[in-house]
A = this chain, B = another copy of it.
Amino acid sequence: MGAQQRPTIKTVAARAGVGRTTVSRVINGSTLVSDEARAAVLAAIAELNYVPNSVARGLVTRRTNSVALVIPESESRLGSEPYFSAVIRGVSTVLTATRTQLQLVLVRDRGERDQLTDSVAERRVDGVLLVSVHEDDPLPGILENLGLPTVLAGRRSPSESLSHACSDNLGGGKEAGRHLISRGRRRIATITGPLDMDVSRSRLQGWRDALGEADIAPDGRLIATADFTEEGGMLAMRSLLERAPDLDAVFAASDVMAAGAMLELRRQGRRVPEDVAVVGFDDSYIARYAHPSMTSVRQPVEEIGSTIARLLLGEIADPGAARQHVMLPTELVVRDSS
């Protein structure tokens, strides 16, 4: 039972006493069908428990009603990095509403990336969402050449040509800097992400702008680069303390790195926030669970997810349409670490 031959559009047509085409028209909501024919078809569909075969449909329509969401797993582990989970959630919300399937692709290394482009070339998806792209990432270019609609979460540079949604990283960094200054701090360090990513550069620039506004002279010893991991944040903090032992605040470009920094601060006997104030970025649960709870720049990650999904669906529906760039606001959430 259960596994017997499933009905096709022909079976339905026979049962309803009409032709294949009429059934197809009913399924696809064409108006050029008489009421009685439509009723007969709908009855037959219900009786036979018929569901159209989406693969056969895809062969002729050249549409799969599914999009890929590509997440680079190498650099920031899904799970320890709540950012990705939130993006997935936002994307999924929009896709489910439009009955589009979500193909999740975790890319760990180069080999897997090549597989990905194959899979995309196999026309298994109508479009691609890319998260966390580096400036020199070849993937967006490849996809563009394949003529496949592509939308980014984040951007490769401020002049990004592909459609994308990102948060106001410059503004967020500036807000973090201003906040620390307003708390009376003057030796304010920063831990940035990889500098080949626009997120990192923008947040760094925001921090610089805030310091500039307050006429605090730039000091290279107060800048350390890490890789968005806790371990990296720890090491960066250590290096900062060596080069600038008198620092009294640090702005990290992610909560995870800020958590690593706080670990190192405690290890070296510096109190947070009394000796060193800390501000993170993301406002994930890590900020809430941290001890002391962490001040952090909130970015609307789930909304980024839903936005890129919406942009992609638009681009699939109308490939000729103009590319769109969306920037979402950030917001400082003040807690005990600053």
Flag if A78 contacts B73 (CB, 8 Å). Answer: no
Flag if A106 contacts B79 (CB, 8 Å). Answer: no
Main secondary structure of the interface of A (DSSP, over half): mixed
* A9 nearest CB across to chain B (Å): 13
Flag if A104 contacts B88 (CB, 8 Å). Answer: yes
A115 to B88, CA, bound (A): 19
Interface size, chain A (Cβ < 8 Å)? 54
Flag if B66 contacts A103 (CB, 8 Å). Answer: yes
Flag if B259 contacts A53 (CB, 8 Å). Answer: no
| Residues in B whose Cβ lies below 8 Å from that of A73 | 89, 92
> CB-nearest residue of chain B relative to A61?
B55
Task: Answer yes or no: A86 CB below 8 A from chain B CBs.
Answer: yes
A55 to B259, CA, bound (A): 46
Task: Answer yes or no: A124 CB below 8 A from chain B CBs.
Answer: yes
Flag if A54 contacts B122 (CB, 8 Å). Answer: yes
Which stretch of A140-148, A176-184, A308-316 is in the interface? A140-148
Flag if A119 contacts B104 (CB, 8 Å). Answer: no
Q: Which of A99, A118, A123, A259 has the most B CB atoms < 10 Å from its CB?
A: A123
| Residues in B whose Cβ lies below 8 Å from that of A2 | 144-147
Give residues in A with beta carbon < 8 Å to B.
1-3, 6, 51-56, 58-59, 64, 66, 69, 73, 77-80, 82, 84-86, 88-89, 92, 96, 99, 101-106, 108, 112, 115, 118-119, 121-124, 144-147, 259, 285-286, 289-291
